[in-house]
Amino acid sequence: MPTSEQQIIHRVSALVAADSVSSPDPRWDSSNRKVIHHIAEYAEGDGWAVEIQELGSGANTKANLIASLGDCCEAGGQPSGLVLSGHTDTVPFDAGGWDSDPLTLDERDGRLYGLGSTDMKGFFAVALEAAAAFDPKEFKSPLYLLATADEESTMRGARSLTRDYLPQARAAVVGEPTDLRPMRMHKGIMMQGVKMRGRSGHSSDPDLGNNVIDALPTLLAVLSNYRDELAQKFRCELMAVPVPTLNFGCVHGGDSPNRICGELDFSFDVRMLPGLEYQDVERDLNSRLVEIAALHGIDIEMRRLVEPVPAFEQAKDSELVIACEAASGHVADAVNFATEAPFLQSLGLETIVMGPGSIDVAHQPNEYLPLDQIQPAVETLRALIRRYCL
């Protein structure tokens, strides 16, 4: 095994051991500082300049790390540097389901098992190794390494970035596990809650209240008509599910058969195709909810359960897509999960999702990074660094 691969394994091992669960559930949520600390140490040791972006205060404080390599000021013209971007956090885990300790990297069967090994702490070790082959004095444009917080929960890290942190960047690779295939598109996601308020009362006389369950069929009909409308308007064959979806997730309301139901909570998600903005979905639905409220004489209020993640699309003829197709040997495709890509793209960067390992083993026990993808990942990133930075 070459020493460079040993160093990668050593680093992945330390990053996996640095627990960094992020979750909307405060019982699980923890700081990502240990991961940031390790990446900062490795990057500084390799000659990168490291900057930390603090994200709020409190017990589980979090941070983004932005490192840059190559002290080059591009005089005038377009910025042309490259960003290699990953998230530092993992999802919560069930240690009982694992065959080894999730926080201790276990090498067996040609795989590195550990929580976050592929999603996506391994990427940082691979990215640092890719950069180590270059003399930054020869860079015409800088290389950036970005390590974000809270991707698995709120995407607060990526939402907090500004262009000031990446002044000379033109393109970004989000190293989520895609088996090293470039992905230029994914759906967005929004999760909404609807509260319906009528009036409770004795069930013996319907006039003693206003039953919100009576309005539920109207709500469901309106939402399913809207879903059909979206499927008529938006279609993308690159996606496994080629239309936007709207899923009825849960409904809670009422307390007793002999009481008029006065209050009901309903929630759903919408997965948007590129071109369908969450603001438009909210506007469309709000105007329809006003009509349902008037029809049934009840109050209806819709709210975001989480901040939406926009859909993402990088044009298939853009420079980065063509460069990644050449470097990886695969035609760019679409993925079925949301990433930080739309937030980086909103900073004016051409953006692609491409990294080692498979999403199929992420977010579950026995997550692993296949050893035989490490060197190809390093080489693919080197090809991109050569193109953008030299």
**Helices 374-389, 122-132: crossing angle, 10 deg rounding:** 50
What x-and-dash track marks residues 128-167 binding Zn ion by CB under 5 A? ----------------------------------------
- Establish whether 89 is a catalytic residue: yes
Q: Label the pairing between strands 169-174 and 350-353.
A: parallel
Q: Could you tell me which of 100, 133, 192 has the C-alpha nearest to residue 386?
A: 133
Judged by CB under 5 A, which stretch of 107-115, 170-178, 317-325, 371-379 contacts Zn ion? Answer: 170-178
Judged by CB under 5 A, which stretch of 5-13, 69-77, 156-164, 173-181 contacts Zn ion? Answer: 173-181
Minimum gap (Å) between residue 118 Cβ and Zn ion: 9
Judged by CB under 5 A, which stretch of 11-19, 116-124, 127-135, 350-358 contacts Zn ion? Answer: 116-124
Candidates 106, 151, 179, 367; catalytic one: 151
Count of positions on this chain that bind Zn ion (CB under 5 A):
3
Q: Of the candidates 72, 81, 90, 119, which one interacts with Zn ion according to CB under 5 A?
A: 119
Q: How far is CA 331 from the centre of its chain?
A: 22
Coil/strand/helix, residue 353: strand
- Establish whether 263 is a catalytic residue: no
Is there a cis peptide before residue 120, judged by omega within 30 degrees of 0? yes
Residue with tokens 């209240």: 209
Euclidean distance between CA atoms 198 and 209, whole angstroms? 7
Query: Using CB under 5 A, which residues numbered 189 to 248 contact Zn ion?
Result: none
- For residue 118, give the DSSP letter: I
Minimum gap (Å) between residue 1 Cβ and Zn ion: 27
Q: How far is CA 377 from the centre of its chain?
A: 20
Euclidean distance between CA atoms 359 and 361, whole angstroms? 5
Question: Does 340 contact Zn ion by CB under 5 A?
Answer: no
Q: Which residue is nearest to Zn ion (CB)?
A: 119
Binding site for Zn ion (CB under 5 A): 119-120, 176
Catalytic residues: 89, 151
